Structures are given as structure tokens and as C-alpha cells.
């Protein structure tokens, strides 16, 4: 595979490469100088000019771009089927860059249950900056339509959403955003490009916390914005990336790119294991309710089936009992580590109400599970023992 080939759609045979192939090859090529098959890490902050002052290799200064970030961005754009990608030091930095392309006085429509860091940016930082936001239940299409104003410039969705894994109909909300002439952004972190393609369903931009499944090993923080077209908005985000400077290090880029090589296989296993665990919990007498879009009892199971290839690795469970009972079950688990975040190879459990603090609307008896790559029967044994 040659550079650029995967990012530009059709392969030599004229067929579009499948995601497993893209995950292995996009942005990767044998180093012409050394023959190295795996890309080297380039810590250099600066790059040589030609005598005429030009930079024929395309690199000048590492904040603007560098070989590891370029390889990662090519790969991320190809995975989502976008025209370009901009990588950041975290998804929160990527989210800020999207809001910064708007102007004070603009209006945003965002979900009540967006990632808590996104909510905090809108409620605190960007509210002070002059951005107005209406927070709505994205599963209620009429409510979204009713929230649109003449100055609405951006509609934000996140699906499945944390921690109840509610499903937003990406195409339906996209139609509302399109009619309003608003930028349409989908946080695709939980589903990953393996399970869901928001750009094909009408999104202009896709956001990822590469910290989660794309990195996949709980050892690197990162974020990315992928754009359907190389338009003014994308160029604006690129400018904020370079001038704001919230960029990932070459080593961070290299780690995320390495994680992506196995992404399709990991996500398939996470999804399969999560469905096993969710089904087990759903039938357990000491469980009140299970939240997982793969269960036929989920309120939007049909929408999930339509827009997702499988249902992902995140499951929430409300145990029978109160906060103390939930904390007790979490304490008895051996394979699940009590920690925040998700998307790594190891299973994690989190009492969401505790981390969200005062004013949380998350039920006190809810535990959020990030289902890892351990054998699902071992996870089920662990959960059964902790619940008994």
C-alpha cells in the first residue's frame, strides 16, 4: 500500500477497502530511507528548509504538523470516510476547537446527557464567551425541532449516550440541523467508526476521544475532529489546532495509530462480550434494570439496529437496592477495576452518581461497566458472585 491510497477511497481493484484493511494500512508506508515497516517516532520539533526557503517535505515546526500526527490524521479521516482530520491532545481540546469556530452570540443545541466535560465547557467556559446553548433530550425529535432558533449554528449529538446508553437517531436530527443551516456534529466515541458512520448519516463533523477505544489500551489521551469536507469550518479548526497548540505529542500519535491496527477486532469482541454480560444481568433476580442498546427491551433498539453494526462495549446496570448496595457490589468485583474511563482491554466498573456529584440525575443504584477483552464467562462469574 502506498501513502494516501487508503484515504482516497477506491483501491486499485476499484472497490472501497474494508475497515479492517484501512485500520492496518491507512497513513502507513515503508520508510524510504531505512526500509522500516513500522513508522519511527519523530520527536524533532523543527524541520530543515531548502536553500530557497521552501519545505519540500511538508514539515516546518511540530505544532503545525509532524510525521506521526500526519499519519494518524490520514488514518482517522479514512476510518470515518472523511476528507480531513485534526488530532488534538484530548477530546476536550478537540471539542473546544469546534466551539471556537463559532462566534459569540451564536446558539448551540446540545444533549442534556452529553459527556460531562462537554456540558461543562458549554455551561461555563463558552457561556461566558457568549455562546448560548439549549440542552434537549435528543431522543425527542419534536423537542430538538422546537429548540432551533434563527441564530442556531451548531447541533451536537452523542450516541450511545452516557450512562444510560440512549440512542439518538443520527439521520433524523441531521435533517433538522440541515434545514436550520447549522453545523452538525456527532461525538462517535462510544460507537467507534467500526460500528457507526455519522458522516454517511448527515453529520458534518465527527468527534472522538481517541483516549477510549481507538487508543484502546488505557495508556494515551487524545482527541480528533474528522470533517466530511475540506471546507472553511475544517480550515478554521486546523487554524485553532496550530495556533491554540493543544496538539498530541509524536509518541501519543504513534500510540493511537498502533492501537487502531486492532480496532475492528477489539470492538467486535467488546460488543460480543457486552451482549453476553447484558443478557446475563437482564435475567438476574438481583438486578432492577439493564441499559444496553443491544437488548430488545431497550427503548430505541430498532434505531440502534438501523444505524449501528453492533452495540458496543458499554453496559449500565441498576442493582436492586440503594446506593450502598451498588457500592457493595462494585467492591466485591475482582476482575472489574473501580475506575473511570472506558475502551481499554481490562474491564472497569464505575458508580456514576459518585463521580458526577451533587445534582446528578444518574440513579444511585447504577453501575457503569466497561466490558473488556477478558473471557466473557469469567466476567459473568465475577458479576454473579458479587451480586449473590
Ligand X SMILES: *Cc1c(COP(=O)(O)O)cnc(C)c1O
Tell me, rounded to whole angstroms, the distance of Cα 197 from its chain centroid.
12
In whole angstroms, what is the distance from residue 315 CA to residue 308 CA? Answer: 16
Per CB under 6 A, 280 contacts ligand X: no
Per CB under 6 A, 187 contacts ligand X: yes
Among 211, 241, 307, 365, binds ligand X (CB under 6 A): 211
Between 92 and 133, name the residue whose CB sits nearer to ligand X.
Answer: 92
Fill in the per-residue mask, 42 to 81: x = in contact with ligand X (CB under 6 A), - = not in contact.
----------------------------------------
- Known catalytic residue: 212? yes
- Known catalytic residue: 377? no
CB 273 within 8 A of CB 284: no
In whole angstroms, what is the distance from residue 19 CA to residue 13 CA? Answer: 16
DSSP 83-109: SEEEEESSHHHHHHHHHHTS-TT-EEE
Q: Which stretch binds ligand X (CB under 6 A): 56-64, 185-193, 246-254, 318-326?
A: 185-193
- Known catalytic residue: 16? no
Q: Binding residues for ligand X, how many (CB under 6 A)?
A: 14
In whole angstroms, what is the distance from residue 185 CA to residue 44 CA? Answer: 34
Among 6, 87, 131, 221, binds ligand X (CB under 6 A): 221
* Cα distance from N-terminal residue to C-terminal residue, the chain: 53
Per CB under 6 A, 212 contacts ligand X: yes
Q: Which stretch binds ligand X (CB under 6 A): 10-18, 182-190, 304-312, 321-329?
A: 182-190
Q: From the CB of 160, what's the least distance to ligand X, in Å?
A: 9
| 279-285: long-range contacts, CB 8 A cutoff, minimum separation 24 | 280/380, 280/383, 280/384, 281/315, 281/317, 281/383, 284/383, 284/384, 284/387, 285/320
Per CB under 6 A, 204 contacts ligand X: no
Site for ligand X in 6-25 (CB under 6 A): none
Catalytic residue among 106, 113, 169, 187: 187
- Known catalytic residue: 309? no
Grid cell for residue 32: 524510504
In whole angstroms, what is the distance from residue 126 CA to residue 259 CA? Answer: 32
Per CB under 6 A, 170 contacts ligand X: no
Fill in the per-residue mask, 84 to 103: x = in contact with ligand X (CB under 6 A), - = not in contact.
------xxx-----------
Between 187 and 204, name the residue whose CB sits nearer to ligand X.
Answer: 187
Determine the 3-state secondary structure of 349 from DSSP: strand
Q: From the CB of 355, what's the least distance to ligand X, in Å?
A: 12
Per CB under 6 A, 298 contacts ligand X: no
Q: Which stretch binds ligand X (CB under 6 A): 77-85, 206-214, 286-294, 319-327?
A: 206-214
Q: What is the dihedral of CA 206, 245, 259, 336, to 10 degrees?
A: -90
Fill in the per-residue mask, 100 to 129: x = in contact with ligand X (CB under 6 A), - = not in contact.
---------------x-x------------
What number of other Cβ atoms are within 10 A of residue 179's Cβ? 10
Between 7 and 111, name the residue whose CB sits nearer to ligand X.
Answer: 111
State the pairing for strand pair 337-338/348-350: parallel
Per CB under 6 A, 209 contacts ligand X: yes
Grid cell for residue 212: 477510549
In whole angstroms, what is the distance from residue 188 CA to residue 177 CA? Answer: 17
Residues of this chain that interact with ligand X (CB under 6 A) are: 90-92, 115, 117, 158, 187, 189-190, 209, 211-212, 221, 223
| Active centre residues (catalytic) | 63, 115, 187, 212
Amino acid at each position: 500500500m502506498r501513502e494516501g491510497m487508503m484515504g482516497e477511497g477506491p483501491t486499485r481493484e476499484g472497490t472501497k477497502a474494508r475497515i479492517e484493511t484501512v485500520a492496518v494500512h491507512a497513513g502507513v508506508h515503508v520508510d524510504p530511507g531505512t526500509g522500516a515497516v513500522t513508522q519511527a517516532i519523530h520527536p524533532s520539533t523543527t524541520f530543515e528548509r531548502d536553500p530557497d526557503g521552501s519545505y519540500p517535505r511538508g514539515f516546518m515546526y511540530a505544532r503545525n504538523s509532524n510525521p506521526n500526527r500526519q499519519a494518524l490524521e490520514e488514518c482517522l479521516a479514512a476510518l470515518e470516510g472523511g476528507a480531513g482530520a485534526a488530532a488534538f491532545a484530548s477530546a476536550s481540546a478537540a471539542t473546544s476547537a469546534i466551539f471556537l469556530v463559532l462566534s459569540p452570540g451564536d446558539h448551540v443545541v446540545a444533549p442534556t446527557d452529553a459527556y460531562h466535560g462537554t456540558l461543562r465547557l458549554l455551561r461555563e467556559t463558552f457561556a461566558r464567551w457568549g455562546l448560548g446553548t439549549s440542552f434537549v433530550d435528543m431522543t425527542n425529535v419534536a423537542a430538538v425541532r422546537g429548540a432551533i432558533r434563527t441564530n442556531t449554528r451548531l447541533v451536537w449529538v452523542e450516541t450511545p449516550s452516557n450512562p444510560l446508553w440512549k440512542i439518538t437517531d443520527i439521520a433524523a436530527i441531521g435533517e433538522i440541523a440541515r434545514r436550520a443551516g447549522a453545523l452538525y456534529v456527532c461525538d462517535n466515541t462510544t460507537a467507534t467508526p467500526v460500528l457507526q458512520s455519522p458522516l454517511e448519516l448527515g453529520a458534518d463533523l465527527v468527534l472522538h476521544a481517541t483516549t477510549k477505544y481507538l487508543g484502546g489500551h488505557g495508556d494515551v489521551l487524545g482527541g480528533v475532529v474528522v470533517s466530511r469536507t475540506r471546507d472553511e469550518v475544517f480550515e478554521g479548526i486546523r487554524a485553532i489546532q496550530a495556533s491554540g497548540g493543544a496538539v498530541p505529542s509524536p509518541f501519543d500519535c504513534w500510540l493511537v495509530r498502533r492501537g487502531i491496527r486492532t480496532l475492528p477486532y477489539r470492538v467486535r469482541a467488546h460488543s460480543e462480550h457486552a451482549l453476553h454480560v447484558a443478557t446475563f444481568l437482564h435475567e438476574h433476580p438481583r438486578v432492577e434494570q439493564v441499559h444496553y442498546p443491544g437488548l430488545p427491551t431497550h427503548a430505541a433498539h430498532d434505531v440502534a439496529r438501523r444505524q449501528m453494526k453492533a452495540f458496543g462495549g458499554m453496559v449500565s446496570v441498576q442493582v436492586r437496592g440503594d446506593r450502598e448496595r451498588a457500592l457493595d457490589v462494585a467492591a466485591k468485583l475482582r476482575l472489574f477495576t473501580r475506575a473511570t474511563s472506558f475502551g481499554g482491554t481490562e474491564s472497569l466498573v464505575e458508580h456514576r452518581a459518585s463521580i458526577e456529584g451533587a445534582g446528578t440525575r444518574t440513579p444511585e443504584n447504577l453501575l457503569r461497566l466497561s466490558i473488556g477483552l477478558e473471557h466473557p464467562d469469567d466476567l459473568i462469574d465475577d458479576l454473579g458472585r458479587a451480586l449473590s
